[in-house]
């Protein structure tokens, strides 16, 4: 009688358990793969095989602001595709672009009419160079770090 009262417990079959474990491992592997793929950047090169971040270190330009506009002089050997301009006013900032290429050794004057209107009320601006490089997909632009930019007090 004691044997009849005992409940018979069934476990998950070994095949189902194996399929579940393999599925979990595949899903986790796919998550890690996609996460790592999102972290790595596509390599952009300049001057042959040089990483474009190293080309940012070679940038040398001067800039000044007057009521007539912005005067930029590229005194280095690296051509600049365009500039990101970080405009600080009060305790916030906005980012705009100046789409004026600046070849090496050239001077460019950007008229006040071509500049964003928010510059007139700004306390300071930072010009951040944008370079053109090569990637696996063709030409690509690269925004240099802000430390390679030029700060101008207005």
What is the secondary structure of 108-136 as a DSSP string?
Answer: EEEEGGGS-GGGGG-SEEEEEEEEEEEET
The pLDDT of residue 6: 63
Residues 33 and 61 in one domain: no
Please state, rounded to an integer, the average pLDDT across all residues of the chain: 83
Closest CA to 81 of 48, 59, 114, 54: 59
Q: What is the pLDDT along the chain (154 residues), one digit of tens a residue?
A: 555 556 666 777 888 889 999 999 999 999 999 888 777 666 777 777 788 888 888 888 888 887 777 888 888 888 888 899 998 888 888 888 888 788 887 877 777 667 777 777 788 889 999 998 888 888 888 899 999 998 988 7
CATH number, domain containing residue 55: 2.60.40
What confidence tens digit (pLDDT) does each residue in 107-131 have? 777 776 677 777 777 888 899 999 9
What is the total count of domains within the chain? 2
Number of helical H runs and strand E runs in the chain = 3, 10
Residues 79 and 147 in one domain: yes
Residues 90 and 65 in one domain: yes
In the three-class reduction of DSSP (H, G, I as helix; E, B as strand; rest coil), residue 141 is classed as strand
Residues 51 and 34 in one domain: no
Structural domain including 28 reads 2-39
Closest CA to 132 of 60, 70, 83: 83
């Amino acid at each position: 009688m004691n044997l009849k009262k005992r409940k018979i417990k069934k476990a998950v079959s070994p095949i189902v358990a194996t399929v579940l474990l393999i599925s979990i491992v595949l899903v986790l592997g796919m998550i890690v793969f996609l996460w790592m793929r999102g972290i790595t950047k596509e390599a952009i090169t300049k001057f042959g095989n040089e990483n474009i971040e190293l080309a940012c270190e070679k940038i040398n330009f001067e800039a000044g602001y007057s009521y007539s506009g912005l005067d930029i002089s590229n005194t280095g050997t690296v051509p600049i595709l365009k500039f990101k301009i970080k405009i600080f006013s009060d305790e916030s900032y906005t980012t705009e672009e100046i789409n004026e290429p600046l070849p090496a050794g050239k001077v460019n004057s950007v008229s006040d009419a071509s500049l964003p209107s928010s510059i007139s009320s700004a306390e300071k601006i930072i010009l951040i160079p944008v370079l053109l490089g090569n990637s696996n997909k063709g030409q690509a632009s690269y925004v240099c770090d802000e430390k390679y930019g030029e700060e101008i007090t207005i």
